[in-house]
Structure 1
Amino acid sequence: MTDLADLIPPHDPAEDTLATVGGMALDAIPLLGPLAGRVLDHALATRERERRHEFDTAIVDEVQRLAERTNAALTVADVVNSDEFLATLARTRREAAETASATKRQRLARAAASTLDPGAPERAERQHYLRLIIELEDIHIWLLAYFHDPRAWLDAHDLSHAYGNNFGGSGTGPLEAALEHFGMTLTQPIEGALEELERRALASPQLRSFMTQGGMVQTRTTPGANAFLQYLGEGDPADAAPPVA
């Protein structure tokens, strides 16, 4: 498998055009003119090349990691002759080029590599998980990790007081304590993400309901969401940190 990395085209970006105009004032650049168009085109092309090289490297790393984990005697021929792997690679490459999240690109790479794993879920389930990786943002994934076991997450981050000092309440307090631990607040976008998870039947946060102390921190994810977290293979959900706002 060490030869697989040799198939990745080298990343050798051309001289950065942005450096040429980087010191110019904005009002000196004809924003609707050809110069601005060339600068923006170059910026997009450069970033696309960077992301593609990064993604191709992640793919190789994931395939090599798979071979080591499963002791599978994978060869380069096995990889490049797999129709499902190549089809998934084409799709994930497109998605990777369009996301600013390095974490999502890594998940896409892992999803592509999983098509070569004999112990992976069935194809239909993998396709479902790939759609979730594409459609959900990093905050959605963290919320799933948190609600997988709020008590374990809070305990792992020394935030047991967020529920331990209460006889009862809603799940809002513990979640707010979790977010504040990382300098975040329960904003409308996060509430929107919670609604999305509920709409997809992945979690049932019930933040506005009054519950017992135990109910405030009980598991709120569905079995399907728990299986998805396991498929992602990102370690103990209690260790997950929310993305930087």
Structure 2
Amino acid sequence: MKQVDLEGLDPDLEPDSEKVNRLARIGISALPVVGGPLVEIFNSVLESPLNKRRTETMIRIGEVMNELIEKGVVTEEGLRENEAFISTVAEVCSISLRNHEAEKLEALRNAVKNSALPSCPSDDYRQLFLGFVDACTVTHIKLLHLFRDPRAWIAKQGREVPANWYMGGLTQVIEYSIPELINQSSLYTPIWKDLYQRGLVTTDSLGTTMGVDSMLAGRATPLGTKLIEFLS
């Protein structure tokens, strides 16, 4: 089947972010005295990196398209007529320009892939999930992944549940499962609260003491599970 020529990727339309950059350059150049030098600073510091991000995003999307076409999951014509896919690509391009973390870029790539499938969530869910990726941190995504199935997360990391875990709390699970969050409760506690307020996890507090089975129980809501599946 015909695939996307990644060598020739070039946007036909100027993205909103580029329009903003162009308008900013015009505005800066209009400033008296310092306008010219500021334009040069703007161009040297921001323009090239933004173009690089845009190109990298287009290549990632092209790779997803080629993968789906090669596997016979979709056709080029089918993608052209898939409104959910086209809308997702447009939103992902915009969000990707505002983000650099590998975990978020991978989540966006998966969102593009899943939006092309028959199992793609409805427009309301899809827009809600993309908005979450845009607004959230990498820690949001990691915590939601972890508490979909803590035992599976720990096993995927090549580790085992400590044999001396009899009683404890969710903070213990978090800091064991995501080592970079050790002694970072001031960071992950408000993030957990945010996940709860968004209806993505079932438990409000991290401070309750419980048995090991409860510590390792899944706490993602049906909405949280649906979100993780869309980003996986």
TM-score range (shorter-chain normalised) is 0.7 to 0.9
- Structure 1 length-normalised TM: 0.72
CA RMSD of aligned residues (A): 2.7
2:215 is aligned to 216
2:68 is aligned to 66
State the identity as a percent: 22
Q: Structure 1 residues 115 and 98, CA, compared in 2 at 3 Å: closer, same or farther?
A: same
Contact 1:147 1:219 in 2 (8 A): yes
1:113-132 equivalences under 5 Å are 113-132=113-132
Q: Distance between the aligned counterparts of 2:192 and 2:181, measured in 1?
A: 19
Q: Distance between the aligned counterparts of 1:149 and 1:229, measured in 2?
A: 11
Q: Distance between the aligned counterparts of 1:209 and 1:61, measured in 2?
A: 45
Contact 2:4 2:65 in 1 (8 A): no
- Structure 2 length-normalised TM: 0.76
Structure 2 counterpart SS, 1:148: coil
Structure 2 residue ranges without an equivalent (≥5) = 12-33
1:29-178 equivalences under 5 Å are 35=37, 37-69=39-71, 71-75=72-76, 77-80=77-80, 82-156=82-156, 157-161=158-162, 164-178=163-177
Count of residue pairs brought into register by the alignment: 207
Contact 2:107 2:231 in 1 (8 A): yes
Task: Quote how far apart the aligned CAs of 1:7 are.
Answer: 4.2
Q: Structure 1 residues 187 and 227, CA, compared in 2 at 3 Å: closer, same or farther?
A: same
Contact 1:172 1:208 in 2 (8 A): yes
Contact 2:4 2:66 in 1 (8 A): no
2:192 is aligned to 194
1:223-242 equivalences under 5 Å are 223-233=222-232
